[in-house]
């Protein structure tokens, strides 16, 4: 075998192994990103503010208009918006495939 053939074979092996390594690293990066998203979501959902907001939402009467809810909630309307914003963020993460 010529030296040039050996060098060509070694370069092909190096390229293939680097592609395999890149694939493995990409898979680990994706898993890490999913794990980080899940932890951030868990921290948001387990916060006292979020639990308070969810409790307020579950105690609201059915079939109320926005103005009726605003009148009923008063100063606690910010808690309601806090929960809505967090749930909307959760929906966006699910839609983008960040969490399953």
Query: What is the total count of domains within the chain?
Result: 1
Residue 26, domain extent: 3-96
- Digit-coded pLDDT (tens) for 26-72: 999 988 988 887 787 777 777 888 888 888 888 888 898 989 988 98
- Rounded CA gap, 49 and 56, in Å? 11
pTM of the entire structure?
A: 0.54
- Digit-coded pLDDT (tens) for 11-37: 999 999 999 999 999 999 988 988 887
Token pair 């808690």 is at which residue?
79
pLDDT of residue 20: 97
pLDDT of residue 21: 97
């Amino acid at each position: 075998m010529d030296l040039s053939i050996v060098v060509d074979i070694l370069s092909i092996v190096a390229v293939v192994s680097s592609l395999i390594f890149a694939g493995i690293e990409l898979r680990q990066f994706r898993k890490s990103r999913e794990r980080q998203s899940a932890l951030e979501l868990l921290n948001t959902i387990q916060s006292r503010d979020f639990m308070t907001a969810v409790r307020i939402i579950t105690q609201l009467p059915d079939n109320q208009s926005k103005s009726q809810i605003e009148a009923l909630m008063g100063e606690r309307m910010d808690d309601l918006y806090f929960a809505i914003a967090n749930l909307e963020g959760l929906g966006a993460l699910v839609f983008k495939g960040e969490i399953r």
